[in-house]
Structure 1
């Protein structure tokens, strides 16, 4: 344990010092950390080729995230060029009243994420639009980002199309729809509480800060630079429908990006080759208005390469941790205390969060956590649906809270708000974590298995009978 504590402590020290003190790239910190863990691996008797194999295996486990990230980058670039995102922003400013803007953001992002099954796609499309509308309404951007992420992760956890939902269910060895139904007992109350919080915050900020002249100025500027019409939203409708029909995410998002380039050529007066280039280099415009330029100059595969490097290096680091069994050793140190549903629930959430911190990727968390915690659930006869649910609460919902994780890097980069700035407003995550722990210690919605059959009575009844 002391060896693990030293290595992980040094890892955190390197990451924080590189980013907060020396302003060096996080990618470099993660790369150096590979060799830090390799030193421990060699000390434990592992051969170098085993350790390098662990790195490549870890990277391979999360390559889908890299591919999706590349496709989303291309999508953002062409959708701005094609007028899709500007049209979403224009009509959002036209329709949404400031007092219900935060609630509308939560609901819109939730619906988008439920329909598409991707929090990244939601943040990269609807999320960008809602951030721009929030800027126009003079809303605090970290608060808007919190509403965007609360909605995006809500849908991501519940959608049967979501890779995280499927992964959590498969690693816990439960059916996807059984996992989704178990999540409903937690997510519906959490969503209602979160909606109330954002509604209250919306009324608090709307009347005091909204500058309607700025809103009208932004709408006029968008109209001047783009052809704003309802049919500009056809590429967005296409992507939503295809994902809702359970078509594969990567080709669907890529096709949506191509659709955006075609729209830029047909309706925005761009040369098709230039429009297609925005898929790689992003959209570039110089309106002379700083706010507009900041809002629209983004996207492209090239703009995602830094995030791709972070994810690859983080996945490799997580692969090393898994190979050495570091998290499992940590859990074994307090395993004797895992004698109740409450303790097991709390421990699962902590392990999943630590897997995000040290594994640097949501995929690492959702793969490792069920593996590490499954035995504890089986000993207590707790149904694996609870394991899958708690793994998602601790893994999926906290992934955006870690600045050097795949989700933290992506969300901060797309939304233009630092991770530490938006974390206090990820209210859906905090409410869900609190409810999961309350359920664990009260026995509410904790199911168990006895004699090979699912039971719906609380675990405490079984404990008393035993």
Structure 2
């Protein structure tokens, strides 16, 4: 006899989510065990509740695998960026960025400059991961050379990276959100600009003020001077080393797919290592897999530049797979459906629409571990509420990105949180208080929602999308770009 399936009650749902938090806190904070083990235990907890609710294992396994599949785009980018970091350090690309940055940028405006440079890079390439792995590492090196706290520099770097991840028409999350929300891509970007531009300006001003206060001319430039000397002695530094970076940015600007472009850039880095940095061909290719291994005799430079390679990302990839599995399991037992029903009763104005959508998106990040999951939970849980209120789904798409995309680096076990912490060498909870752009996006979005500001009306394109959606029985396919 087949056991009848049932949706989890509110009490069961809260119990599952509460156990998730307890397990994560216990493993990470108290037992000092890897996050991966905590997530694996969470799998078994959800499976147990799934059986209690009448689901069989095979059904839940399909949900688990589907959840992992939804995040494969991020995993492919992680592999490509890992290879890129290793070869660009060995090829002199990143060392040259650091060298020129130390010569050009004033310490007092460095934090603001770091945010702007990373924002330009991310807007041009459409990838926060790629921007952090290249320009971000260079900014970390420059900031440390100036004696600035690493957590503060990381906050500025990540703020800049997520400006591009959120606003670039080349970004996979931007394209995917517009598609899932059934709105025109550039209307989606226009709607987000009302939030992102003021958040960017305020963040830049704050970083400028803090930088000016922390570095008022009394700072010690000895580390910067030693870094310059060490880079000159150990790398061939010239404008030619920046050619791979220019090539990658131009290719991405022409809307070529991110993964093959980044991998091509990584191969260019290996070629540059052979042509200009004295590497043998096999040794240069090896940096794609095992990363850069520098021995300059200067501990600061070695610590900064001994990173990258595909193996550098393996623990991150494992963590993301496990986190995505959690999201898939929660979806398979009906947790998202229950939350959607609760939000539908509460979302009775644009303010509550905004808040519930951001919560649904953050739910995907916190319990699903990836930006892709957050975009799915944010749109699918709350989109019908916008239709009932006859509100343009540009508000939906804007709120999904505010609650999902920019919150990924805030969660230690999400793809964004793990990648940024690993790549920049700063723990998530250390840089979190200084990720000002992300917090400002959330605050401004809520203010707009509750005061009814910058709420756009449906246009003909959106109405046509609605009609097409209805004709297809409420189902619409979308292409997830990488």
TM-score, length-normalised on structure 1? 0.95
Could you tell me how far apart the structure 1 residues matched to 2:413 and 2:374 are? 14
Please point out which of 368, 376, 387 is paired with 2:385: 376
Structure 1 window deviating more from structure 2 (204-213 vs 419-428): it is 204-213
Could you tell me how far apart the structure 2 residues matched to 1:239 and 1:382 are? 39
Please point out which of 411, 416, 430 is paired with 2:439: 430
1:313-324 paired onto structure 2 within 5 Å: 313-324=322-333
Query: Structure 1 residues 330, 255: CA separation in 2 closer, same or farther (over 3 Å shift)?
Result: same
Aligned equivalent of 1:50: 59
Deviation (angstroms), 1:210 = 2.6
Aligned equivalent of 2:476: none
Report the secondary structure of 1:417's partner residue. Answer: coil
Query: Structure 1 residues 141, 162: CA separation in 2 closer, same or farther (over 3 Å shift)?
Result: same
1:179-328 paired onto structure 2 within 5 Å: 179-207=188-216, 210-328=219-337
Query: Structure 1 residues 448, 324: CA separation in 2 closer, same or farther (over 3 Å shift)?
Result: farther
2:378 equivalent to 1:385: no
Aligned equivalent of 1:152: 161
Gaps of 5+ in 1: 455-466
Could you tell me how far apart the structure 2 residues matched to 1:452 and 1:270 are? 54
Could you tell me how far apart the structure 2 residues matched to 1:324 and 1:348 are? 21
2:456 equivalent to 1:447: yes
Aligned equivalent of 2:5: none
Query: Structure 1 residues 289, 279: CA separation in 2 closer, same or farther (over 3 Å shift)?
Result: same
Please point out which of 338, 341, 345 is paired with 2:350: 341
Aligned length: 454
Could you tell me how far apart the structure 2 residues matched to 1:58 and 1:452 are? 31
Aligned equivalent of 2:6: none
Could you tell me how far apart the structure 1 residues matched to 2:179 and 2:329 are? 22
Could you tell me how far apart the structure 1 residues matched to 2:459 and 2:104 are? 54
Contact 1:344 1:376 in 2 (8 A): yes
Contact 2:363 2:377 in 1 (8 A): no
Deviation (angstroms), 1:181 = 1.2
Could you tell me how far apart the structure 1 residues matched to 2:227 and 2:462 are? 60
Contact 1:110 1:155 in 2 (8 A): yes
Query: Structure 1 residues 209, 429: CA separation in 2 closer, same or farther (over 3 Å shift)?
Result: farther
Contact 2:344 2:382 in 1 (8 A): no
Query: Structure 1 residues 297, 209: CA separation in 2 closer, same or farther (over 3 Å shift)?
Result: farther
Could you tell me how far apart the structure 1 residues matched to 2:374 and 2:78 are? 18
Structure 1 window deviating more from structure 2 (103-112 vs 335-344): it is 335-344
Aligned equivalent of 1:95: 104
Aligned equivalent of 1:74: 83
Aligned equivalent of 1:110: 119
Please point out which of 114, 129, 137 is paired with 1:120: 129
Gaps of 5+ in 2: 1-9, 464-482
Contact 1:381 1:450 in 2 (8 A): no
TM-score, length-normalised on structure 2? 0.92
Could you tell me how far apart the structure 2 residues matched to 1:284 and 1:76 are? 12
Could you tell me how far apart the structure 2 residues matched to 1:433 and 1:69 are? 26
Please point out which of 391, 404, 411 is paired with 2:420: 411
Please point out which of 11, 16, 21 is paired with 1:7: 16
Aligned equivalent of 1:464: none
Superposed CA deviations along residues 42-72 of structure 1, whole A, max 9, x for unmatched, are 1111121110011111111111111110010
Deviation (angstroms), 1:338 = 1.3
